Chains A and B, each alone.
Chain A
Amino acid sequence: MAQVNLRNVVKRFGPLQVVHGVDLDINDNEFVVLVGPSGCGKSTTLRMIAGLEAISEGEIAIGDRVVNDLPPRHRNISMVFQNYALYPHMSVRENLGFSLEIAKKPKAEIDKAVDEAAEILSLTDYMDRKPGALSGGQRQRVAMGRAIVRHPDVFLFDEPLSNLDAKLRTQMRTEIKKLHQKVNSTIVYVTHDQVEAMTLADRIVIMRDGYIEQVGTPLEVFEAPANTFVATFIGSPPMNLLTGRVAADMISLEGGLKVAVPDQYRANVSEGQDVVLGFRADNLMPVGHAMPMEGAFAELEMTVNLSEPLGTETLLFTSIADKEIQAKMLNPRPVASGEKLSFQLDLTRCHLFDAETQNSLRSN
Chain B
Amino acid sequence: MDENLQHRLRARTVKYLQLFALFIAMAIICIPGLWVVLNSFRPTVEIMAKPPVWIPQNLSLDHYRAMFGGVGEGGVPVMRYFTNSLIISVTSTIIAILVGMAGGYAFARYRFRGKAAIFIGLMLTRAVPGVSLSLPLFIVMAKTGLIDTHIGLILVYVALNVPFTIWLIDGFFRQIPAELAEAAEIDGCTRWQAFWKVEFPVARAGVASAGIFAFLTSWNEYALASQLTRSTFSKTMPVGLRDFTSEFTINWGGMCALAVLMIIPALILTFLVQKHLIAGLTFGGVKG
Using CB atoms and an 8 Å cutoff, list the residues of chain A in contact with chain B: 50-52, 71-73, 77-79, 81-83, 85-89, 98-99, 102-103, 146, 150
Does B189 interact with chain A (Cβ within 8 Å)?
Answer: yes
- Residue pair B186, A50 in contact (C-beta under 8 Å): yes
Contact residues in A for B202 (Cβ distance below 8 Å) = 87-89
The reply to whether A52 and B185 contact each other, CB–CB distance below 8 Å, is yes
| Pairwise interchain contact A146-B182, C-beta atoms closer than 8 A | no
Nearest Cβ on chain A to B183's Cβ, whole angstroms: 4
Closest to B193 in A: A102
A79 to B186, CA, bound (A): 7
Query: Is the C-beta of B184 less than 8 angstroms from some C-beta in chain A?
Result: yes
A47 to B: closest C-beta gap in Å? 8
CB of B177 within 8 A of CB of A103, answer: no
Are A83 and B201 also in contact (CB < 8 A) when A72-B185, A102-B193 are? Answer: no
Q: Which residues of B contact A51 (CB under 8 A)?
A: 185-186
Does B185 lie within 8 Å of A89, measured CB to CB?
A: no
Could you tell me if A71 and B190 are in contact, using CB atoms closer than 8 angstroms? yes
> Do A73 and B182 touch across chains, with their CB atoms under 8 A apart?
no
List 16 A–B pairs whose Cβ atoms lie within 8 Å, in order of A's numbering: A71-B190, A72-B185, A73-B185, A73-B187, A77-B186, A79-B182, A81-B179, A85-B177, A85-B179, A87-B183, A87-B198, A87-B202, A89-B202, A99-B187, A99-B188, A146-B187
Distance, CA A102 to CA B187, complexed state (A): 8
For B183, the chain A residues whose CB sits under 8 A away are: 79, 81, 85-87, 146
Which of B177, B186, B197 is close to A73, meaning CB atoms less than 8 Å apart?
A: B186
Given the complex, which residues of B lie within 8 Å of A85, measured CB to CB?
A: 177, 179-180, 182-183
Cα(A144)–Cα(B189), bound, Å: 18
**Chain B residues near A72 (CB-CB < 8 A):** 182, 185-186
In the complex, the answer to whether A98 meets B187 with C-beta atoms within 8 Å is yes
Q: A83 is contacted by which of B177, B190, B193, B197 (Cβ under 8 Å)?
A: B177
A residues near B184, Cβ cutoff 8 Å:
87, 98
Find A102's partner among B182, B189, B201 (CB 8 Å cutoff): B189
Residue of B nearest to A87 (CB): B198
For the complex, give the distance between the alpha carbons of A146 and B188 in Å.
12
Main secondary structure of the interface of B (DSSP, over half): helix
- Least distance between B121 CB and chain A CB atoms (Å): 24
Q: How far is the CB of B175 from chain A (nearest CB, A)?
A: 11
Which A-chain residue is minimally distant from B204 (CB atoms)? A89
How far is B177's CA from A83's CA once the two chains are assembled, in angstroms?
Answer: 9
What total of chain B residues lie within 8 Å of the partner, measured CB to CB?
17
Q: How far is the CA of A73 from the CA of B182 in the complex (A)?
A: 10
Question: Bound complex: CA of A102 vs CA of B190, how far in Å?
Answer: 10
Q: How far is the CA of A50 from the CA of B190 in the complex (A)?
A: 14
A81 touches B201 (CB 8 A): no
Residues 163-197 of B, flagged 1 when their CB comes within 8 A of A and 0 if not, give 00000000000000101101111111110010001
Point out the residue from A79, A87, A146 that lies within 8 Å of B180, measured CB to CB.
A87
Measured in the bound complex, the distance between the Cα atoms of B185 and A72 in whole Å is 6
In whole angstroms, what is the CA distance A78 to B187 when docked? 7
CB contact under 8 A between A52 and B188, given known A89-B201, A89-B202: no
CB distance from A186 to the nearest CB of B (A): 15
Leading 9 A-B pairs by shortest Cβ distance: A99-B187, A85-B179, A85-B183, A102-B188, A73-B188, A72-B185, A72-B186, A81-B179, A89-B201
In the complex the two chains form, what is the Cα distance from A74 to B198 in whole Å? Answer: 19
Nearest-Cβ distance from residue B192 to partner chain A, whole angstroms: 12
Q: For A77, A78, A79, A103, which residue has the most chain B Cβ atoms within 10 angstroms?
A: A79
Interface residues of B in 203-231 (CB under 8 A from A): none
Q: Inside 8 A of B197's CB, which chain A residues have their CB?
A: 102
Kindly report which residue of chain A lies nearest to residue B190, judged by CB atoms: A73
Closest to A88 in B: B202
Bound CA span A315–B161, Å: 66
In the complex, chain B residues whose CB is within 8 Å of the CB of A50: 182, 186
Cβ A52 vs Cβ B182 within 8 A = yes
Q: How far is the CA of A98 from the CA of B193 in the complex (A)?
A: 12
Closest to B176 in A: A88
Q: Shortest CB–CB separation between residue A150 and chain B, in angstroms?
A: 8
Specify which chain B residues have a CB less than 8 angstroms from the CB of A103 in the assembled complex: 188
**Separation of A51 and B188 alpha carbons in the complex (Å):** 12
CA gap between A309 and B215 in the complex, in Å: 67
**Whole-angstrom distance between the Cβ of B6 and the nearest chain A Cβ:** 44
**A102: which B residues are within 8 A, CB to CB?**
187-189, 193, 197
| B200 → chain A closest CB, angstroms | 10
Residue of B nearest to A102 (CB): B188
- Cβ distance B207 to chain A, nearest Cβ, rounded Å: 13
Q: Which residues of A contact B193 (CB under 8 A)?
A: 102
In the complex, the chain B residue whose C-beta lies closest to that of A77 is B186
Q: How far apart sit A99 and B179, CA to CA, in the bound complex (Å)?
A: 15
Q: How far is the CB of B113 from chain A (nearest CB, A)?
A: 12
Task: Given A102-B187, A102-B189, check contact A81 B182 (CB 8 Å).
Answer: yes
**CB of B176, distance to nearest CB on chain A (Å):** 9
Q: Which residues of B contact A86 (CB under 8 A)?
A: 183
C-alpha spacing A349/B100, complex, angstroms = 66
Most buried by A among B182, B187, B197, B202: B187
